[in-house]
Amino acid sequence: MEGYLSKIGEFGPYQRRMFVLLSLPTIIVSMQKLAWVFLGARVDHRCRLWWEGEDADFALNDEVREIAIPWDDTREGFSQCYMWSNVSQDPLFRLNSSVQEPCGSVVYDTSDYATSAVIDYELVCGRAWLRATVQSVFMVGMLVGSYLFGDLSDRLGRKPVFLSALVLMVVVGLGQAVIPDYYAFTTLRFILGTSLQGVFLVAYVMSMELVGKSRRVLVGVLAQAFYTVGYFTAALLAYFITSWRWLQVAMTLPAILFIPYYWVIPESTRWLIAKRRTTEARVILEKAAKANKKEVTEEALLEALEVTKLEKGEAHGNFLDLFRYPNLRRKTLNIFFNWFVNSGVYYGLSLNTGNLGGNAYLNFIISGAVELPAHVITILLLDRIGRRIPLAAFLALGGLALLSTLFIPSDLQWVIITLAMVGKLCITGSYAIIYVLTAEIFPTVVRNVGVGSSSMVARIGGALAPYINLLGDIWRPVPLIIFGSLSVTAGLLSLLLPETLGRRLPETIEDGENFGR
């Protein structure tokens, strides 16, 4: 197959067209993954005082606030969840026996967000953990989707699984916008997370299977760039659509445009060949050669259609093989930890923009903008310096930037935001590199198992990220300190991984055990 691609062009017009078509749904996937920043936007709130009605304004004059609302040292502001008891409205005073008591009901500040799932489902104060749970359950759905749709695409084919996940994403995405119950909403978020992995991962695999080996690094990183486009699109939609339910509709409906892919996108020729459906594969290969304006011989076609020993499944491994031998086991655990940290820190920083202070929309846009130079730098480094050193450098430098926020005074908010964005740039670069390095370190017979398992471990990090961000309610620097510590640790450990640039990749379990010794 590689020989055939070298003859017709490893990334010719046909592959470029298919790559763009397959990558466009990533924009929708990105918006859905990051949407909780706006759908479940944090909004300031306070206790509703006993004399206030349902239409009470969030703002209080200074005299009332000083007497009725206690000061909260942990957030360096007035409490959002407690009020003083025994406060008289007229004349305004507080008895000496007054004690702090939790809110009976809450008044929300709707100046920045007219609506939010946090408001509709009352996810504040004693129920604040339920807000983090929504995103955590969503990440668990992604974990399930990584395995489920990966397995189904190997069994049933890339194309039908991709399109099925796409339809499921549309149905569940629209369903979220009308569901009135918190638990039903959270269940739909789980299913949505599952479907998104079916769309993104299967499309990513199809894109990688289209091109020759010399272009896989470029395609792998460019595929991530479409994710960044989704960042900007989400911020733009959120700025103009103030209702979180209508915002969810706006982020989902464009996916309908991709359903006609059924008649446009071909099945993966590598999958067809592996399943011995060579007649169908031949039609696609001939079409690709024609689109690239290349002529190929019958001999070249037959060679491409030949089913190799590995494709026949005569040599294969399983998950346990990753841990069967000491060197391979050490590399596997190191890679798993790297994925865990990369996913946790990436989503932690992406979803924490509203906690950094300043304008939440601007922070979110900056958080997406820093991904663009990260992708460019990654492409320039991977085939020049290698994989291991850039991975370690990105993780360590990003981690140190996040840790340094501990020493910045809270009134220098712009410095804290800048350092957090440096961390985001670095973790974006390392995330792109770990995709490539993982696929190259694991031997061919367990490559799919290794990459799939790594992706599942990554979702555990993503599932924990919302709870780490919740610690920011206790002390704002805590999330950045945790993310920074994890990044530095992963960076140091990544130095123990072997370099893969310019090396013959391992094929068998024995090769994998000896690789990088």
pTM for the model stands at 0.82
Give the N- to C-terminal CA distance of the chain in Å, as an integer: 30
What is the DSSP annotation of 406-431? GGS-TT-HHHHHHHHHHHHHHHHHHH
CATH placement of domain 1-40+128-314: 1.20.1250.20
pLDDT, tens digit (0-9, with 9 covering 90-100), for 365-387:
888 888 889 888 988 888 889 88
Task: Find out if CATH 1.20.1250.20 is the number for domain 315-517.
Answer: yes
pLDDT of residue 313: 46
Could you tell me how many helices (H) and strands (E) the chain has, helices first?
21, 8
Residues 444, 506: contact at Cβ < 8 Å? yes
pLDDT of residue 81: 92
Residue ranges in the chain whose pLDDT is less than 70: 1-2, 307-317, 353-358, 444, 448
Task: Tell the residue number behind the tokens 């690094």, with chain if given.
Answer: 217
pLDDT, tens digit (0-9, with 9 covering 90-100), for 145-182:
888 887 788 788 889 999 999 999 999 999 999 998 99
Residues 6+ apart with CB under 8 A from 502: none
pLDDT of residue 308: 52
Residues 6+ apart with CB under 8 A from 62: none
pLDDT of residue 176: 92
For 315, counting Cβ atoms within 10 Å of its Cβ (0-12 exposed, 13-18 middle, 19+ buried), the class is: middle
| Chain centre distance of CA 97 | 51
CB count within 10 Å of CB 302 equals: 12
Domain ranges of the chain: 1-40+128-314, 45-109, 315-517
Residues 6+ apart with CB under 8 A from 20: none
1-40+128-314 and 315-517, same CATH topology:
yes
Q: At what angle do helices 447-470 and 413-441 cross, to 10 degrees?
A: 160
